[in-house]
Amino acid sequence: MDDVPSKWTPKDGTKLAQEAIIEAIIPEKRPLYRSLPPALDFPVDALGPLKNAALAIHHRTQAPLAIAAQSVLGAATLAVQAQRDVKLPAGGRKPLTGLFVSIAESGERKSSVDRIALEPITQVETAWRQQSEGEQLAYLNAKEAWDFSRDKAKKASPGNPDALRAALDALGPEPKAPPHPMLIISDPTPEALTMHLAGGRPFAGVFTAEGGVLIGGAAFSDESKMRTAALFNTLWDGDPIRRKRIGTGSTFLPGRRCSAHIMLQPVIADELFGKSLFDGIGLTARMLLVAPNSTAGTRLYREAPAGSSAILERYNERIRYLLMRPPVTSPDMPDALDPPPMQLHPDAKSAWVAFHDECEKAVLPDGALSRIRAFAGKLAEHAGRLAAVLTVYDDPNAMEVPLIAMQCGINLAIHYANEMLRLADGASIPPELRSAQRLLTWWQSLPNSSLHLSYIYQHGPSNVRSADAARAAIKILFEHGWIERLAPGTVVDGARRKEAWRLIP
């Protein structure tokens, strides 16, 4: 040990300090990136008439309150979107559609929350399914009779186009198939969602507690992700769907509505929000995100409050009622929605205008919302839509948004802005660092701290399933002091390995 620097030698010269040996051998571990600050508490009071339902679901499941809030907001938005629009002072008439996203790890009871919040919707789908059995039979019989009469008219008018045209005109249009009883779709491609809105009811919902199936599926494949994002944008804006394909012909669908609530694990959210494509075409600006703190480890058994069941039954009754009401359609196009626009009460209008102007000033280069400019540009509109949704849920016959509902909408919008600001820092983390962090987390969960290269890319996280990807992530962990290289030929996993590493304790 004579070559040890003298500064590590104790003054008495008898031995090296143990702390100095450890410091010399083990490099300092450096975090791969700065962790996000904790999420703010969800403003549950701003849910207004939905507050008690969200709390009841939260108490029953002990899932994060923000996820319960997102679920009831999503369900209510789905239920009211065929009944009303809202007219905002700066932007005109807007549909009551919403795109809600909840980010949470596995084990946060997302599915349990979703199941309770969507129960009234599944009940309505069941009723529609039972009703459609008789409607389908009536349709098939009417279609058969129509085809028969059309063939008979053709045979009765040989060589007489005028007579044939008169007979076909008298026959009328082809019978229309009854709408599909399914309202919620979990994993649609853009083409499938378009077909659903064309052949089913003019409104639908994309709801899933397993967002990885949607984001990792055909809807967000390299070939479809731009079309999917564009379609969600179109539906959120309330514009007609316009498609022209060589194989399937032209599609023009005005008056369609579609809302969504997608629950994602953080690693899947990285795939969605780490892509500049979605931000560039405005999809993320139309989304309302939450990424609440985990409740795992605090969910000791407790009885739900006595009134929870009654609260949820009232919530179910209101959602069912709104969905069973006939959708408001256009007199000229019975299959196209044309909901009447709600007006803002003068006090609500004043509050909205003040909030709109504050949002506009906040996107200046030194403003509080400058880092999320695209989202901030739609923040006042989000507030107005949320206020209108709460109003219609509270009173299905309402035609005016009151001040208290607008205050709720603004408070909710402020929370979503704070969440977007917080998550914007995470979106700026380079993907290679996230990849290394995933490898490290997986590695730390294993009983063996020593691994070799082929084991890592054969059994490790999906992001390191190649030798090159594994080496890149390993290099980052090495440079940050989390692992050490083992000498070539070291026995790992029962064999001598050329490339192997060990986690540093």
Closest to 32 measured CA to CA, from 456, 467, 489, 434: 434
pLDDT for 136 equals: 78
Q: Count other Cβ atoms within 10 Å, centred on residue 43.
A: 16
pLDDT at 275: 54
Pairing of strands 99-103, 257-264: parallel
pLDDT in tens, 342-377: 999 999 999 999 999 999 999 999 999 998 999 999
Res. 437 pLDDT band, cuts 50 70 90: confident
| CATH number (domain holding residue 256) | 3.40.50
**Assigned domain for 159 exists:** no
* 269 and 353 within one domain: yes
Q: Tell me the whole-structure pTM to 2 decimals.
A: 0.80
Q: Does the pLDDT of residue 409 top 50, yes or no?
A: yes
Question: What is d(CA 3, CA 419) in angstroms, rounded to the nearest whole number?
Answer: 54
Taking only the tens place, the pLDDT of each residue in 264-291 is: 887 677 666 655 545 656 888 999 999 9
Say what percent of the chain tops pLDDT 70: 89
Same structural domain for residues 313 and 458? no
Query: Which among 433, 424, 456 is positioned nearest to 31, based on CA atoms?
Result: 433
Q: What is the largest CA-CA distance in the chain?
A: 121
160 in a structural domain? no
Q: What is the mean pLDDT of residues 219-236?
A: 84
CA distances from 14 to 7, 8, 10, 11, 23 (A): 14, 12, 7, 8, 19
Residue 172 lies in a domain: no
Highest mean pLDDT (candidates 350-354, 450-454, 475-479): 350-354
155 part of a folded domain = no
Taking 60 as the threshold, does the pLDDT of residue 490 lie above it? yes
Number of Cα atoms under 13 Å in the Cβ half of residue 491 = 2
pLDDT in tens, 181-207: 889 998 888 888 988 898 878 999 999
22 plus 66 within the same structural domain: no
**CATH classification of the domain holding 441:** 1.10.10.10
Output phi, psi for 172, to 5 deg: 85, 180
pLDDT-derived band of residue 18, with 50, 70 and 90 as boundaries? very low
pLDDT at 15: 44
What secondary structure letter does DSSP report for 344?
A: E
Q: Is-contact 391 405, C-beta < 8 A?
A: yes
Confidence of residue 246 (pLDDT cuts 50, 70, 90): low
Q: Among residues 427, 452, 484, which one ends one of the domains?
A: 427
Nearest C-alpha neighbor of 262 from the set 235, 230, 223, 291: 291
With pLDDT > 90 as the criterion, what percentage of the chain qualifies? 55
Query: So what's the pLDDT on residue 25?
Result: 47
Is there a single domain that holds both residue 94 and residue 242? Answer: yes
pLDDT at 143 over 80: yes
pLDDT tens for residues 411-424?
999 999 999 988 87
Indicate whether 239 and 299 sit together in one domain: yes
- Residues with Cβ within 8 Å of residue 418, at least 6 apart in sequence: 40
Is residue 320 located within the same domain as residue 390? Answer: yes
Q: Does residue 22 carry a pLDDT above 70?
A: no
Mean pLDDT of 212-239: 82
Cα separation, 260 vs 287, whole angstroms: 9
DSSP character string of 359-424: HHHTTSTTSTTGGGHHHHTTHHHHHHHHHHHHHHHH-TT--EE-HHHHHHHHHHHHHHHHHHHHHH
* Same-domain status, 340 and 414: yes
Three-state SS letters, 86-139: EEECCCEEEECCCEEEEECCCCCCHHHHHHHHCHHHHHHHHHHHHHHHHHHHHH
pLDDT of residue 473 exceeding 80:
yes
Q: pLDDT-derived band of residue 149, with 50, 70 and 90 as boundaries?
A: confident
Q: Which of 411, 427, 443 is the last residue of a domain?
A: 427
Tokens matching residue 488 = 């070539």
Report yes or no on 302 lying in a domain. yes
Shared domain for 104 and 198, answered yes or no, is yes
**Residue 161 binned pLDDT confidence (cut-offs 50, 70, 90):** confident
Q: Is residue 135 part of a domain?
A: no
User: Residue 379 in contact with residue 359, Cβ under 8 Å?
Assistant: yes
Question: By the 8 A CB rule, do 490 and 497 touch?
Answer: yes
- Do 11 and 61 lie in one domain? The reply is no
Would strands 500-503 and 483-485 be described as parallel, antiparallel, or unpaired? antiparallel
Judge if 435 and 356 occupy the same domain: no
Overall domain count for the chain: 2
pLDDT of 489 over the 50 cut: yes
Range of the domain at 15: 6-33+430-503
Give the model's pLDDT for residue 14. Answer: 41
pLDDT tens-digit profile of 32-56?
877 778 889 999 999 999 999 999 9
State whether 223 and 273 are in the same domain. yes
pLDDT at 140 over 90: no
Please report the pLDDT score of residue 142 as a whole number: 82
Would residue 52 count as lying in a domain? Answer: yes
pLDDT, residue 164, reads 81
Average pLDDT over residues 378-402: 98
Query: Which residue, 383, 402, 427, sits at the end of a domain?
Result: 427
Alpha-carbon gap, residue 441 to 358, rounded angstroms = 42
Looking at the structure, tell me whether residues 449 and 423 fall in a common domain.
no
Residues 83, 338: Cα–Cα separation, whole Å: 8
**What is the mean predicted confidence (pLDDT) over 297-301?**
86
Mean pLDDT of the chain: 86
Residue 208: strand, helix, or coil: strand
Highest mean predicted confidence (pLDDT) among 213-217, 386-390, 434-438 = 386-390
Nearest residue to 117 via CA among 83, 81, 78: 78
In a domain, 132, yes or no: no
